[in-house]
Amino acid sequence: MRAAVDRLLREGRVRVVERAVSGRFELAAVTQASQRESDAPLLFRRVGNSRFPVVTNLFGSRDRMMAMIGAEDSFCRRWAELMRAPGAPPRMVGEPAGLEEIRLSDLPAITYSERDGGPYITAGVFLAKEPESGIPNLSFHRCQVVGDRELRVRLGSSHHLTRYQAGAEAQGEALEAAILLGAPPPLVLAAAAPLAYDEDEMEVAAKIAGAPLALRRCRTVALDVPAETEIVIEGRILPGIRRPEGPFGEFMGYYVEIGDNHVFEVSAVVARPDALYHALLCGSPEDLRLLELAVATRTYQALLAANLRGIVDVACTPFTMSTVVKMEQAYEGHARQVLMTAVGANHDWNKTVFAVDEDVDIGNFDDVWWAYLTRGRADSRAFVLQDLPGFYRDPMKDHWGRLAIDATAPFGRKSEFVRKRVPGAEAIRLADYLA
């Protein structure tokens, strides 16, 4: 991650905040204000009383995500290619020079939203092993900081780590885990990816990196972690213990109220010299881009598995539970077939699904809606699918029902919908023209 940040700094693509900011609301407020006008990462040099700088929004750009996996035109197509590539076994290395053991209270204490129950770790990648097979898993879970030796963790019901913990707890045992803060970007992407229970997510990270991972042994738990990780929190998820966690401002823009959640007992915090602390504002473009990786690639894979032709790419905006499929129409009714398959590809997130032609920018919802409203009748190309269950955390059924929208041009009339273009507009540098 440090190499990625340094490269963007050299290219002048990072917004650097030299002014001291408070970790209580101010850092989140500055991040939110910056993200309204730019997708650039932010580097905060001084946060509260901590000596560690904070980086955020590193993953907040689809273009940067494309570059991280070497995609030229289609993120999902490139991802599928990487998943078919052979994996590279990791290589063990000694402990890097300069690692130091610190306390949780030495890290930036960041409270994001007004009613949050306290400081939270939001960008930590959990590394744990499946108790029976030993296969490693990578996943994201929010952590409320309550002291130097305790974190309160919410494990989502659909996560593999939840099954790991339940299996260990059934045996009366704690589950060892390491929380990676500032992990190499391929690990962050692998943690966000929708993988099968028995898939090795460290191997997936190596496929994305195109090289074997360099791992080192943890100091207090029997886990191997990427040697280049900025900060590693070692410990155990305790069996049979639940304590209050929350409230917390979640990604959909609302608070999750206080609930009894898991307890992570911290046994060590190990940091690189001058480590970078990765922070993530929930519901921000960075959060949603990482979630998009999971939803979009799963939907793309489902469309390919259904033998549907002409699928170019998939994008989504999890904040509004909307997914867009870019396609090349091959026959009458093709778009509707794609829509029905995409709706069924994801139980939680594909609440609204659009099908668009290959000339539409699927990362720009203005473009998507323009296509829908200008390429045919609005009243006959939207389909309400009633009484379909939605988001998994939905006891009141507020997210039931789906909406499928055909925003493609009528089949066989493609020549009537050629977009106008100003020659040379893409190459213009306004700085050459403006005083």
Q: Tell me, yes or no, whether 59 and 95 share the same domain.
A: yes
Q: Tell me, yes or no, whether 325 and 206 share the same domain.
A: no
d(CA 297, CA 274): 35
Q: Tell me, yes or no, whether 229 and 372 share the same domain.
A: no
Q: Which residue carries 């002014």 as its tokens?
A: 19
Closest to 269 in 3D by CA, of 148, 144, 96: 148
Residue numbers of the domain that contains 355:
306-417
pLDDT, position 320: 63
Stretches where the chain sits below pLDDT 50 are: none
| 181-203 per-residue burial string, b: 16 or more CB within 10 A, e: under 16 | bbbbbbbbbbbbbebeeebbbbb
Q: Tell me, yes or no, whether 56 and 134 share the same domain.
A: yes
pLDDT, position 331: 93
Q: Tell me, yes or no, whether 278 and 324 share the same domain.
A: no
**Bond prior to 247 in cis (omega within 30° of 0):** yes
**For residue 165, what is the domain's CATH number?**
2.30.110.10
- 8 lies in a domain? yes
How many domains does the chain contain in total? 2
Q: Tell me, yes or no, whether 260 and 332 share the same domain.
A: no
Which element (helix H / strand E) includes 372?
helix 365-374
DSSP 417: G
Q: Tell me, yes or no, whether 7 and 122 share the same domain.
A: yes
175, with CB counted inside 10 A (0-12, 13-18, 19+), is: buried
**For residue 311, what is the domain's CATH number?**
3.40.1670.10
Q: Tell me, yes or no, whether 206 and 341 share the same domain.
A: no
pLDDT tens for each residue of 181-198: 999 999 999 998 878 888
pLDDT, position 156: 79
d(CA 174, CA 154): 16
- 425 lies in a domain? no
5: tokens are 């940040």
d(CA 229, CA 215): 10
307: tokens are 């033998």
pLDDT, position 394: 65
pLDDT tens for each residue of 99-146: 999 999 999 999 999 999 999 999 999 999 998 888 999 999 999 999
Q: Tell me, yes or no, whether 239 and 280 share the same domain.
A: yes
Q: Tell me, yes or no, whether 164 and 221 share the same domain.
A: yes
Closest to 303 in 3D by CA, of 320, 322, 327: 327
- The counts of H helices and E strands in the chain are 10, 23
* Pairing outcome for strands 42-44 and 15-17: parallel
d(CA 56, CA 180): 15
Helix locations, 306-364, DSSP H: 334-343
pLDDT, position 388: 77
- 352 lies in a domain? yes
- 424 lies in a domain? no
Q: Tell me, yes or no, whether 256 and 316 share the same domain.
A: no
- 435 lies in a domain? no
**How many other β-carbons are positioned within 10 Å of the β-carbon of residue 303?**
22
Greatest Cα pair distance, the chain, in angstroms, is: 71
251 backbone dihedrals φ, ψ, rounded to 5°: -70, -25
d(CA 231, CA 123): 11
144: tokens are 């409320």
427: tokens are 């190459």
- 234 lies in a domain? yes
d(CA 54, CA 48): 11
pLDDT, position 391: 66
How distant is the alpha carbon of residue 144 from its chain centre? 19
pLDDT, position 392: 60
CA–CA distances in Å: residue 430 to residues 14, 63, 180: 20, 21, 41
- 298 lies in a domain? no
- 173 lies in a domain? yes
Let me know: does 250 contact 282? Beta carbons within 8 Å.
yes
